[in-house]
Structure 1
């Protein structure tokens, strides 16, 4: 029996997910042009779902329009990175505070498990970055606040534009692991103040490494 036509909304959802993943993994770099026809050919779909996907990516702030170029993958300048990490410190600090108050024992055990898993992937930055994303997602959900979760989701979309993980720099994977341990320890102890401060320190340290990467990239481009 032949299958019926695929719902255009499903095609649009698939195109959106694929393009978002390509931006996150660096296949589509910040500043690169986004051509509907080229993307449609690559994904094997018509231009309609691609157009819908690009509208959603533009609403997410991941795609923008540049003079004489058209649609391009958005780029974060130095000021935007500072602003992004400032908000991340506030929101993730709040998520950790809420988690210390509201996380179930199972959620705390899951956070601890993810931190332990980091040790097994210390030499694999890509795998470590995936575990790191899982840890932070688990932290957000452990806060049990739907409005905070939505704000963090929007922030996570913007983080995609930062490119490669800071965990590949120097000894960052080791210090990040220690910072995650401190966060879980404070959450397990039901200490909101310590949990928030541990999360804030974690983000501040990540920001310092990110700015170091940005400076290095500027030197390489000149």
Structure 2
């Protein structure tokens, strides 16, 4: 029996993942025929997926071409404000609702990820997994949906704040503090720790951008 033809949802997920892992970076042009060939799907679901990504502002128009969108300073600032509050809420709810098994997984993630200190690319992938686990531990499907959108948009940033010198070690210390508060079922401390974690990441990224502008100048 022949396998089902890939749907636009499949194509959407494949393109989104490629943006998320950096296969396609902000400013890269996405060509319908090339994507269809790369992912082994027909052009129709690719076209539908591209339209959906454009509607979500993950792609933008450059003449007649679609390119991976980028965030300007104001957009980045607005995104971090929303992310800080939503992530803080997720951590607070995780402290209230997480099962013993979910808390244990978070602790194991922190311990395992310590081996990645000094490898920003690997730790960035682990960081996404860690935050996603906190989102799920909140046991609030609507919050998880909103955070998924926020994290998809984060992929539009050309670099990770973890690339800053010393940031990987600091981030891991912050993760440990977040998990400790969740383990203690301290909702206020968990929320505050995660909001502080996002604030520090934002300040780090602002410094990165300032340094990049200085070098360009």
**TM-score using structure 2 length:** 0.91
Q: CA deviation at 1:112?
A: 0.6
Check conservation: 2:19, 2:155, Cα contact below 8 A.
yes
Decide whether aligned partners of structure 1 residues 208 and 32 sit closer, same or farther in structure 2, where only a CA change above 3 A counts: same
Of residues 51, 60, 63, the one that matches 2:59 is 63
Structure 1, unmatched stretches of 5+, are none
Aligned position for 1:121: 116
1:194 aligns with 2:194: no
3-state DSSP of counterpart to 2:9: helix
Q: How many residues align?
A: 217
Q: CA deviation at 1:159?
A: 0.9
Of residues 5, 10, 18, the one that matches 2:14 is 18
What is the rounded CA distance, in whole Å, between the counterparts of 2:45 and 2:131 in structure 1?
31
Q: CA deviation at 1:64?
A: 1.8
3-state DSSP of counterpart to 1:190: coil
CA-to-partner distance for each residue in 1:17-36, whole Å, 9 max, x for gaps? 33222222333221222222
Instruction: Summarize the alignment of residues 1-222 of structure 1 with structure 2, pairs less than 5 Å apart.
Output: 3-4=1-2, 6-9=4-7, 12-66=8-62, 68-221=63-216
Q: CA deviation at 1:198?
A: 0.4
Q: CA RMSD in A?
A: 1.8
**TM-score using structure 1 length:** 0.90
What is the rounded CA distance, in whole Å, between the counterparts of 1:218 and 1:26 in structure 2?
22
Check conservation: 1:60, 1:157, Cα contact below 8 A.
no
3-state DSSP of counterpart to 1:201: helix
3-state DSSP of counterpart to 2:195: helix
What is the rounded CA distance, in whole Å, between the counterparts of 1:15 and 1:64 in structure 2?
18
What is the rounded CA distance, in whole Å, between the counterparts of 1:186 and 1:43 in structure 2?
42
What is the rounded CA distance, in whole Å, between the counterparts of 1:168 and 1:99 in structure 2?
28
Q: CA deviation at 1:125?
A: 2.0
What is the rounded CA distance, in whole Å, between the counterparts of 1:22 and 1:140 in structure 2?
22
Check conservation: 2:54, 2:60, Cα contact below 8 A.
yes
3-state DSSP of counterpart to 1:17: helix
